[in-house]
Every structure is written in structure tokens, then in C-alpha cells.
Amino acid sequence: MNIARWLPGVATLRTYKASYLPHDLAAGLTLGAVMVPVGLAYGELAGLPLAGLYGSMLPLLAYALFGSSRQLIVGPDTAMAALVAVAVVPLAPGDPGRLALLAAALGVMVGVLCLLGAVLRLGFVANFLSKPVIVGFMHGLAMVIAVAQLPKVLGIKSQGETTLEQAVSLLHRLGDTNGTALAIGAGTFAVILLCRRFLPMVPGAVVALVGAGLAVVFFHLDVAVVGRVPTGLPGLSLPAVSLTDFEYLLPIALVAALLSFSDTVVAARAFAARNRYRIDANQELLAIGVANLVSGLSQGLPISASDSRTAVAEAAGGRTQVTSVVAAGVVAAVMLWFAGFLYHLPAAALGGLLIASAWGLCDASEFRRLWRFRGISLAGALVTLAGVVALGVLEGILIGVVFSVVLLLRALAFPPDAVLGRAAEGSWHDMAHRPDAVPVPGLVVYRFAAPLFFANSALFRDRIEALVAAAPQPLKGVVLDGGALQDVDLMGCETLSEIYLDLEERGIRFVFGDLRDRVKRDIERGLELARDDEGDVTYPSVARAAEAVLALPLN
């Protein structure tokens, strides 16, 4: 076996340059300093502070070995933590031990699903989440996170199962806002965004959280704090859950696996393109699977790629996977010897950090792009967003995916088509877009831009019949532009045969131009249309097919 194929990190070490080490060390120390408060914040979001830190150690080492990206950083992120908070926390109300068990089991299940997908080479599945669904989900998720963290920032409590209900509850209790908590949360949010905008080299999260903790210590502020964080590293164990829990977690794990892999591939491709190398989608599926598996085995949260932490590592000079190894070591050192420094960290500051993370998920220009491209795409994003906010994360994703599938089926059942005309130079074009393309008397040239199959074959026949009926008579023939006919099934072949025989009885020739070789073979295999005693019915181009038909005498 080629070790470089399965362990790209080992291959990197074989060719590692000594000049990279100072850069990787500096980037790793900076990244580790960021990952401690960020991991703690994501753990807080999921109801398991330590799980966020546990998921920031072994998964980094696993991805460093198996990932094909040299820059990508993995760990607990907004989407995974929110998924646990929304879908898993209700299974363990008031029981931290059970919640930790279920969250770890979810991580293991996500890892196993990704590994299974890698074995089956299902890397292409990441493309099944359409752009409108992703845009709507990310913005809906941002609203879910913001509403969930506002009670910490405002120093009040909220009620309600859905995000909408919690928002209404917060509005009714705004009068009880704790001004000190609000100042800390808003200050943290502002510092992070300002650093992100004007000082990208400065870890804004670390600066804001250190400042908030020092303010609590020196000014004796009366706000909720993180409190004592247990020291020590996590043990490795396989979380054992009941069959009922497994059945409930499986659909959540499927969604989490798809999201985790999609995020990982998108981020890995972006940073690989920037640094001029390529990544392997199936290898990324394997890597994120192993990382999630070890995260679950070490009581960590399900993990994904992190654009923000990858950007921090790259900005700090990180060159290779060694950056991840150093960062994991920093997190481990904090857990062993420096956890006491987290005691005075205010909960409002963590809330501000998470709201800043949610803010980073939002991009209003995406909605404008969807609207300019196609209004129905914007509708898909808005439907997904509304579903996430009003019903829940899983329900919102399901609504968005169903909406996308309906649009896909509609596009296949009612595909674009065109009547072609001949331009002055002899080429054939859609007359709706080329004013110089004009119809040729005695001929109809038609383009059907989709696979011809059972769902649209009746529509295809209706359009051919309508064009023949509307064409000036006498009509010599109909030419089908086969260049846009991507595929054909048996029902499509039967439809073509019926049209051919019907037109032949009326003295009208039905021929194909520019058929793809595979489609031509399928048509010949399906109904042997090309074997015609009166002449060919397939031609290498639309122009040749039109010339052949026009050369025929009128019947």
C-alpha cells in the first residue's frame, strides 16, 4: 500500500523543510490560544463545555495525518455545536452525563458514516446540498445561535422550544437586562468584529476574552462566570447507547455527516486553490470521518472544518499540518496545567463570541445573488431559513432539501427547449436569442435541452405536435438537435418511434442532428430507428440534417 495515498500527513513529513518549522510553531501557538476559548464557547453552546475542548485535540492530529489539505484546521464549529444543542439536548434534559454520552455517540456515528462513504467513494454526495439550501441554512443557523446566546449576553432567561418562541420570550423580558453582562457581551462582539475587519493578524477572540476575564477579576463584576474547569485529558471509550437512542441519532448523524463533509471539502478546496495544490474529496471524507470518530471516542463534540481558525493559522504563517499538531498540544497543556485561568471567564463574553461567529455565517449579498440569478433560488433559501427558525434545524434542512428536489424534478419534467433558425453564415441558433436567425420554409428545427425519459416524454411529443401544427405548410421535415439530448430511456425511445411513424404517415421526415454517440447507440438499441430503408435518420450535425431534409421532394 502507498502510505502517501492514505496518510498524506506522513508524506508531508518525509519532505518537510526545516525552514517551515518556525512558521508552523508560531502559527500553532497562536491557533492553540484561539482554540481554547473558542472550543469552550462551542462546548457551552452544546451544553458540554469540556466536550468543545476535547474535540480540539485528537481530531486535529487525526486530520493532520489523513487530510489532503496542508492548511485546513478542524474542530468543533457553530453548525455542529448548534446541531447538538437543538437535536440532542432534548434527549437528556438536566442530565449532563447522558448528554455527554449521546454527543460522543453522535460523533462516533458521524465518523463511521463518513468512513463508510469514503470506502464507497461517495465524495460526490457533498454536491447534493444546493446553494439555496446552504445559504438559507447558514443564515437560519446564525439566527438560532444568536437567539440562544442572547440570554447570556442580556443576563436574563428565555423560554420556548423553537427559536421563534425563544425570541418572543426574550422580547417580553428585555426590562430585566443586566447592564454589566450586556456591556461585556457587546464589547466582546465588537472587539472580535473590529479585529476581524481591521487587524486580521490579531486573534480578536483571545484579546476580547482575556480582557473580559481581567475585568471580572479586577472590578469584581457581578456576572455569571464559567467557574471551575476540570483538569486532565479525556480517556478513550466507546459510547454505548440504547437501540432507541441509536434510531433517534441516526438521522441527525446523517445530516451532520453531510454538513461536516460539505464544509470540509469547500474550505479545503478554497485554501488549496489559494496555495496552488489540489485536494482529494474522497480522502477528505476519510479524514473527517477519522477525526469525528476519535472526537467521539474521546468524549468530544462532532467536528467539521473551520474557515476562521484555518484563516488564523494561515495568517500566522502556518505552512503544513504541523501547525495542527502544535495547536493540539497547546490545548492539551491548558487542560493539564492552566485550566484554572478559565475560572473567571464571563458567560456573557462566550455568548458574545458565539454571536460574532454567527455573524460570520451571514452574507446578505448571497440573497441578492440568488435573486439576480433566479427568483426561485431565493425562495428556496428563504423557505429553508424560515423552516430552521420556526421549526428546527433538522426540519429546516429537510424542508430545503425537499424544495430543491421538487425544483429538480420540475426542471427535468419541464426542461428548456427552443426552436432554431438559420443565421446568415449557415449555423443554427435559438431564434429567441439570435435575431439574425430565421426559420427555413418547409423545416422545423427543435432543441430539447434535457434527458428524454418517462417524466417528460409526453411533454416532448406535445411540443413536437404543436410545432408541426403551427408550421407553414407544406412541411418537409422536423430536425431534432441531438446535441442537447443528454440521455434517453426506453419510454423516450418509444416516444421517438411513435413521433417518427406518425410524421412518416403524413409525409414529414423526422431526423436527428448531432446526436451523442451514447444516445445514438441507445436509440438504435431501443428501437433501431437508424435502420431505415428510405435513408438515414441520424446526421453528424444539425446543418447536415437540415440540408438532407430540404433536398427531399415534397410528398
pLDDT surpassing 90 at residue 112: yes
pLDDT of residue 460: 92
CATH of residue 502's domain is 3.30.750.24
pTM over cut 0.75: no
Q: Does 177 map to a domain?
A: yes
Of the ranges 270-279, 379-388, 419-428, 515-524, which one carries the lowest mean pLDDT score?
270-279
Place of cell 484546521: 73
Same-domain status, 348 and 421: no
Same-domain status, 58 and 142: yes
pLDDT of residue 192: 84
Calpha distance 87→78 (Å, rounded): 14
pLDDT of residue 533: 45
Same-domain status, 487 and 372: no
Which H helix or E strand runs over 527?
helix 517-527
Instruction: Cis check for the bond before 474: say yes or no (omega within 30 of 0).
Output: yes
Contacts of residue 466, defined as CB under 8 A and 6 or more positions apart, other chains included, come to none
pLDDT surpassing 50 at residue 191: yes
Contacts of residue 266, defined as CB under 8 A and 6 or more positions apart, other chains included, come to 126, 305
Radius of gyration of the chain (CA): 30
pLDDT surpassing 50 at residue 549: yes
Closest CA to 41 of 95, 83, 77: 77
Q: pLDDT tens for residues 278-288?
A: 777 788 888 89
pLDDT surpassing 80 at residue 8: no
Q: Does 3 map to a domain?
A: no
Q: pLDDT tens for residues 37-54?
A: 778 878 888 888 888 889
Of 346, 379, 407, which one is at a domain's C-terminal end?
407
pLDDT surpassing 60 at residue 531: no
CA distance to 104, 126, 164, per residue, from 260 (Å)? 15, 9, 26
- Ranges of beta strands (E only) in 34-94 are 74-75
Same-domain status, 500 and 354: no
pLDDT of residue 435: 84
Same-domain status, 53 and 185: yes
Same-domain status, 343 and 448: no
Q: pLDDT tens for residues 538-548?
A: 888 888 988 88
Of 407, 442, 457, which one is at a domain's C-terminal end?
407
Mean pLDDT of 161-181: 82
Q: Does 11 map to a domain?
A: no
Look at the alpha carbons of 319, 321, 327, 333 in this order and tell me if their dihedral is positive or negative.
Answer: negative
Give the count of domains, the chain.
2
Of the ranges 289-293, 344-348, 509-513, which one carries the lowest mean pLDDT score?
344-348
Calpha distance 390→337 (Å, rounded): 43
pLDDT surpassing 50 at residue 458: yes
Calpha distance 504→499 (Å, rounded): 8
Q: Does 449 map to a domain?
A: yes
Calpha distance 451→489 (Å, rounded): 8
Give the three cell numbers for residue 440.
427555413
413, 459 Cβ separation under 8 angstroms? yes
Q: Terminus-to-terminus CA distance in the chain, angstroms? A: 69
Domain that holds residue 31: 19-407
Give the three cell numbers for residue 131.
446553494
Q: Does 292 map to a domain?
A: yes
Same-domain status, 517 and 391: no
Mean pLDDT of 487-493: 88
Same-domain status, 496 and 386: no
Q: Does 6 map to a domain?
A: no
pLDDT of residue 293: 94
pLDDT surpassing 70 at residue 418: yes
pLDDT of residue 532: 46
What are the backbone dihedrals phi and psi of residue 201, each rounded to the nearest 5 degrees, phi first? -75, -15
Calpha distance 158→73 (Å, rounded): 34
pLDDT surpassing 70 at residue 137: yes
Give the three cell numbers for residue 2.
502507498
Same-domain status, 390 and 425: no
pLDDT surpassing 80 at residue 273: no
Calpha distance 486→543 (Å, rounded): 19
Give the three cell numbers for residue 421.
433558425
What are the backbone dihedrals phi and psi of residue 394, each rounded to the nearest 5 degrees, phi first? -65, -45
Of 387, 407, 427, which one is at a domain's C-terminal end?
407
Of the ranges 164-178, 293-307, 490-504, 526-540, which one carries the lowest mean pLDDT score?
526-540
Closest CA to 466 of 476, 478, 455, 453: 478
Contacts of residue 534, defined as CB under 8 A and 6 or more positions apart, other chains included, come to none
Q: pLDDT tens for residues 200-229?
A: 777 777 788 888 888 888 888 888 777 777
Same-domain status, 273 and 235: yes
Q: pLDDT tens for residues 356-396?
A: 877 876 788 888 888 888 778 888 888 888 888 888 766 77
pLDDT surpassing 90 at residue 13: no
- Ranges of beta strands (E only) in 289-338 are 304-305
Give the three cell numbers for residue 15.
519532505
Calpha distance 24→317 (Å, rounded): 7
CA distance to 179, 362, 370, per residue, from 404 (Å)? 44, 21, 14
Q: Does 391 map to a domain?
A: yes
pLDDT of residue 530: 44
What angle do the packed helices 131-154 and 364-373 form, to 10 degrees? 160
Higher pLDDT: 125 or 552? It is 552
Same-domain status, 379 and 475: no
Q: pLDDT tens for residues 78-104?
A: 778 878 888 888 888 878 888 889 999
Of the ranges 10-14, 66-70, 243-247, 538-542, which one carries the lowest mean pLDDT score?
10-14
Same-domain status, 338 and 439: no
pLDDT confidence band for 29 (50 / 70 / 90): confident
pLDDT of residue 275: 64
Average pLDDT, the chain: 82
Q: Which amino acid is at 409?
A: L
